[in-house]
Amino acid sequence: MRVDVEDLVLRYGTVTALDRMSFGLEGGKIYGLLGRNGSGKTSLLSLLGAFRKQTSGQVRVGGSPVFENPAVTPEICLVRESGECTDLGSAEDAFYFAEWLRPNWDGDYARSLLDLFGIDPKTNVKSMSKGQRSAMGVVVGLASRAPLTMFDESYLGMDAPARQAFYDAVLADYMAHPRTIILSTHLIEEVSGLFEEVLIIDGGKLLLHEESTTLLSRGHAVTGPVGRVEAFTSGLTVLGEKTLGPTRSAMVYGELDDERRRAAAATGLDLGPIAMQELFIHLTGGPR
């Protein structure tokens, strides 16, 4: 399901959470939504999920406005960090409401996911551990099979093996039932392999929207003697650098053509990739 955002503004009193944001997402892809705390990720997803109304601008899903639109909202599922079934009794009760709300609900798949995460369907959601509640949220999100499915840090309460099981389930179910999936996360290193495209927002503005492979192709680690690294990186965008004795490693952002690559090899410099998490850290300004 396609998503279109145009000149989107969201204000909380005097605070501008989203500032004239515009982008378009094709249907049938997995997107990564990255941003620092307070960047506007949750605010953006709440608008896409019709949880609130924008101050100005347009939000369209499948070509239609989303807020208070009963023809569109059943096709959207947003699972937030706290999950969306905390006060709905047992896991079975949560599934009852999910089936009522989601026209594409797959109950058999939902029960198989409960088995995967070791959750008894008779257990009251309020008595579950934080990890189990997080698992319940992702079960509801995946089994909804909503054409637009969004996870807003909803798996942070899960331990590492459970998160990996979630990532595997996302990919497997997406391959079997293609749809638009948006994953908002701080665990970039863990989940970046799932992203087909990445959006980075900072300070309520869209900083970057590109294919993952394109973003990664623009980051390079240049390592070698200090003087040679300085000469090679002159005129390039240097995101950061570390020096240990006579050796320097610089992280640069930008395309390197064949001539520059040959020049690096000729001067004994090593060129290596930069992980998406490292690129994100430096593109959003490093520590604050």
pLDDT digits (tens, 9 = 90+) for 172-214: 999 999 999 999 998 999 999 999 999 999 999 999 999 999 9
Could you tell me the pTM of the whole model? 0.89
pLDDT digits (tens, 9 = 90+) for 137-172: 999 999 999 999 999 988 888 899 999 999 999 999
Q: What is the mean pLDDT of residues 128-138?
A: 88
Q: Would you state the pLDDT for residue 88?
A: 67
| Per-residue pLDDT at 287 exceeds 70 | no
Tell me which CATH code domain 3-210 carries.
3.40.50.300
**Strand (E) or helix (H) holding 212:** helix 212-217
Q: Would you state the pLDDT for residue 133?
A: 87
| Per-residue pLDDT at 288 exceeds 80 | no
Identify residue 146 by its one-letter amino acid code.
A
Distance, CA of 97 to CA of 87 (rounded, Å):
12
Does residue 153 come out as left (phi exceeding 0), alpha (psi in the -120 to 50 range) or beta? left
- 226-265 core/surface letters (b: 16 or more CB in 10 A; e: else): eebbeebbeebebbebeeeeeebbbbbbeebeeebeeebe
Q: Would you state the pLDDT for residue 85?
A: 56
CATH architecture of 218-283: 2-Layer Sandwich (3.30)
- 109: its two tokens: 């798949």
Please state the domain extents for the chain: 3-210, 218-283
pLDDT digits (tens, 9 = 90+) for 44-98: 999 999 999 999 999 999 999 999 999 999 999 999 876 555 566 888 888 888 8
Task: Tell me the average pLDDT of the chain.
Answer: 91
Cβ count near 282 (within 10 Å): 17
